[in-house]
Amino acid sequence: MKVLIVEDDPLHRSYLHEAVNAALPECDTVIEAENGTVGEKLARDHKSAHIVMDLQMANRNGIEAARTIWKERPETRILFWSNYSDEAYVRGVSRIVPDGAAYGYVLKSASDERLKLALRSIFIESQCVIDREVRGLQQKSLGQTNGFTDSEYEILVDIALGLTDRAIAKRRGLSLRSVQNRLQQLYDKLDVYQSAGDDHEDGRFNLRARAITVAFLRKLLNYSALERAEAELQEWLDGK
């Protein structure tokens, strides 16, 4: 059995290497990649079936890399090992995981023990292992309670990219008014009014900009999500 490690940080990389050796005696080869681009290449060359991947990497982030890898070989098992459990990451991951694929999401703050367990469960038993904390987010975001619909999330991304209402309408195939309806929904859920209204005439916020910031502070958006969205936008613009 071969395992591919994709991780930015040299310290974390060697830690992972050790952890893999300890948890998986049946693993005879461990390969390392120091960023997403190299990771993709090595995965392709070695036809890797077992990958441990960091999410936040400078060169090419984990989600991008995982997407292309899964596109080529959907049965690949990937364990995401991340510092954060931002909703933006969780959403990003669950959007790209192929049907029935075994994968995992473990936080870097987890114990050695938990990491090893996750490694065995995913790579040997083909089970999904999602960190408790991450799991919580997932439920909330899929169940409607306090969570954001896909369409709400979509429009959030669109205004974050800086599109006008009209542009959004065109892009999503909606009328102007519908876009604005969704915006109102979004503002509602993000509680943009509350902080705005409390202080009569002056204290008002620019709802659109405020929504973006609140989303950031709540980790609904983060850098990598923006980056991906921006890339998609450019693609769309080029395709007329």
Residues that bind a copy of itself (CB under 8 A): 9, 11-12, 15, 83, 108, 159-164, 166-167, 170, 192, 199, 202-214, 216-217, 222-223, 226-227, 230, 237
Q: Identify any residues that bridge with 33 across adjacent strands, giving them in sequence order.
A: 6
Q: Least separation, in Å, of the C-beta of 158 and a copy of itself?
A: 9
Binder of residue 151, out of a copy of itself, DNA, none (CB less than 5 to 8 A by kind): DNA
Q: Least separation, in Å, of the C-beta of 81 and a copy of itself?
A: 13
Q: Least separation, in Å, of the C-beta of 147 and DNA?
A: 13
Q: What one-character DSSP code corresponds to residue 67?
A: H
Instruction: Report DSSP letters for 75-137, one per residue.
Output: T-EEEEEES---HHHHHHHHHHPPTT--EEEEETTS-HHHHHHHHHHHHTT---EE-HHHHHH
Cα separation values, 13 from 112, 167, 171, Å: 14, 43, 41
The tokens for 188 are: 């509602």
Residue 182 interacts with DNA (CB under 7 A): yes or no: yes
Binder of residue 199, out of a copy of itself, DNA, none (CB less than 5 to 8 A by kind): a copy of itself
> Nearer Cβ to DNA, position 75 or 188?
188
| Candidate list 151, 195, 213, 222; residue touching DNA; CB under 7 A | 151
Residue 181 interacts with DNA (CB under 7 A): yes or no: yes
In whole angstroms, give the CA distance from residue 35 to residue 12. 13
Residue 177 interacts with DNA (CB under 7 A): yes or no: yes
Residues ≥6 apart with Cβ < 8 Å to 6: 32, 33, 35, 36, 38, 39, 51, 52, 53, 54, 57, 62, 65
| Candidate list 68, 121, 180, 195; residue touching DNA; CB under 7 A | 180
Residue 166 interacts with DNA (CB under 7 A): yes or no: yes
Tell me how crowded residue 106 is: count the other CB atoms within 10 A of its CB.
Answer: 21
Residues ≥6 apart with Cβ < 8 Å to 151: 182
Q: Least separation, in Å, of the C-beta of 201 and DNA?
A: 8
| Candidate list 127, 178, 195, 213; residue touching DNA; CB under 7 A | 178
* Number of residues counted as binding DNA (CB under 7 A): 21
| Candidate list 22, 142, 176, 217; residue touching DNA; CB under 7 A | 176
Residue 240, helix vs strand vs coil: coil
Q: Which residues bind DNA (CB under 7 A)?
A: 149, 151, 164-166, 174-178, 180-184, 187, 193, 204, 206-208
